[in-house]
Amino acid sequence: MERLLHCTTALSIILIVMVLTSVRRAHIRVEYSVSWLLASIALLGVSLNPSILAMVSNLFGIDYSPIVLLLIAGAVFLLVFFRLSVIISKLKDDNIALAQRLAIVEFYLRHDREQA
Amino acid sequence: MAKVPLEPVSGEKLLVLVPAYNEEGAIARVVKAVGESMPGVPVLVLDDCSADTTAATASLAGAHVVSFPHHLGLGGCVQTGYRLAFELGYEYVIRVDGDGQHDTRDIPRIFQALKESGCEMVIGSRFVEDNGQSTGPVRSLGIHFFRAVLRPILGKTVHDPTSGFVGVNRRALAVFGKSFPLEYPEIEALVVLQRRRFRFLEIPCKMLPRTTGRSSITAIKSIYYIVHVLLGVLVNVLKYERGRKIVEDK
């Protein structure tokens, strides 16, 4: 159990460093880094405080605490992935609307040029 | 071939839309056939970023061409045509597929039905009468399945829910310009119209065999199609309150 917590602690620290580095280098926009930062901080908090794990284990009647850790991590990252899907869907809608508008404007321009 | 002018118009004017993707083998024949069936009616080809010479071939054949910067899919293309037609002031738009499978000699009857029935949509249907039209077993099964799904939603049977041979009037253009399914649009479009209490009519039409290219529909795509369209239908049905508001605003 302790070794697993060390691993998740290290993993969450690496994730935080990666996110902050990416923000600094402008590889990820600040608004999209927030989900990842919150997720990795939550994972770090749980990893550094086994009492949280014990409390949640008791709450759900789970005897084996590492399962709770995996469940929490899975739930947090599922939420992040869902948020990303929402963002991608909006981007796709915007992209299609832009492509449609561009095609129409190009059509008008070509049409006007042919008429001139 | 000289193009029919595509000027902003008013009154009862018709535009024929032809969405096309890699249809260089068929598109010229389709454009010319539309010109023979409906002389003086402009043809607008929506080239969905084809890798071949579809756009140039269509233009040479006498069509106006809208070209997209990247592949949008059928719904995205058709919606662009509807938006453009609405902006230009067209009263009626008839969509014909670019693969040459729709018999353009049916266009005058669809146009007449659009004008006389007052329905917002007229569908060229292969199955509204027994006119000897048949389709593959999988597609046939899908058509029967969606007929059964749509019957309680639309309040009447739609015999050919997957037909892309469709005419719409300006009221439908106004709606579709804002809200149109981007993938596999035919079935969802019916639900979009029904939510606005719009009416549709089916008239018998023939489907010709494909002479060039090949259908992109595979078994896996068919399953994806069914799931995708079912979900789309469900989403549109759940937009009931919004639909009612739109009707009240009319």
Model confidence over A75-110: pLDDT tens digits?
Answer: 888 998 999 999 999 999 999 999 999 999 999 999
Q: Does B152 lie at the interface with A, CB-CB under 8 angstroms?
A: no
- Alpha-carbon distance of B14 to B167, in angstroms, equals 10
B68 to chain A: which residues are within 8 Å by CB? 99-100, 103
Contact B236, B188 (CB under 8 A): yes
Q: Does B63 lie at the interface with A, CB-CB under 8 angstroms?
A: no
A96 to chain B: which residues are within 8 Å by CB? 72, 76, 182
Residue A22 has pLDDT above 90, yes or no: yes
Q: What are phi and psi of B154, to 5 degrees?
A: -85, -20
Residue of B nearest to A109 (CA): B66
Q: Show which of residues 170-189 on chain B sit within 8 Å of chain A, judged by CB atoms.
A: 182
The predicted pLDDT at position B228 comes to: 87
Taking only the tens place, the pLDDT of each residue in A23-45 is: 999 999 998 899 889 889 988 98
Is the CB of B76 less than 8 angstroms away from the CB of A111? no
Take residue B183 and report the two structure tokens written for it. 């993938």
Contact B201, B117 (CB under 8 A): yes
Region A9-32: mean pLDDT is: 93
Where do runs of H (alpha helix) occur along chain B?
27-37, 54-60, 74-88, 107-117, 137-154, 170-178, 185-195, 219-238, 240-249
The predicted pLDDT at position B106 comes to: 94
Q: Helices B185-195 & B170-178, crossing angle to 10 degrees?
A: 110
Per-residue pLDDT of chain B (250 residues; tens, 9 = 90+): 667 777 655 556 899 999 999 999 999 999 999 999 999 899 999 999 999 999 999 999 999 999 999 999 999 999 999 999 999 999 999 999 999 899 999 999 999 999 999 899 999 998 876 666 666 677 778 888 888 989 988 888 888 888 999 999 999 999 999 989 888 899 999 998 888 889 999 999 988 876 666 666 666 777 888 888 888 888 888 875 454 544 444 4
Take residue A81 and report the two structure tokens written for it. 């992935």
The predicted pLDDT at position B213 comes to: 62
Q: Where are the domains of chain A?
A: 2-84
Q: Does B75 lie at the interface with A, CB-CB under 8 angstroms?
A: no
- Alpha-carbon distance of A64 to A68, in angstroms, equals 7
Take residue A6 and report the two structure tokens written for it. 């060390």
Q: Which of B15, B66, B83, B90 to mutate to test the interface with A (most CBs of A within 10 A)?
A: B66
- Give CA separation, B159 vs B19, B35, B124, B215, in Å: 23, 28, 10, 22
Nearest chain B CA: its distance from A66 CA (Å): 37
- A27 contacts: CB under 8 Å, gap ≥ 6: none
Interface predicted TM-score (ipTM): 0.82
Q: Which residue has the higher pLDDT, A65 or B234?
A: B234
Of B70, B76, B83, the CB nearest to A104: B83
Nearest chain A CA: its distance from B149 CA (Å): 27
Is the CB of A111 less than 8 angstroms away from the CB of B64? yes
The predicted pLDDT at position B215 comes to: 61
- Give CA separation, B246 vs A97, B174, B194, B196, in Å: 22, 12, 12, 7
Q: Pairing relation of β-strands B92-95 and B166-169?
A: antiparallel
Q: Pairing relation of β-strands B166-169 and B121-125?
A: antiparallel
* Bridge partner residues of B102 (DSSP): B207
Query: What domains can be seen in chain B, in order of their start residue?
Result: 14-249 (3.90.550.10)
Of A99, A106, A107, the CB nearest to B72: A99
Contact B238, B191 (CB under 8 A): no
* Bridge partner residues of B14 (DSSP): B92
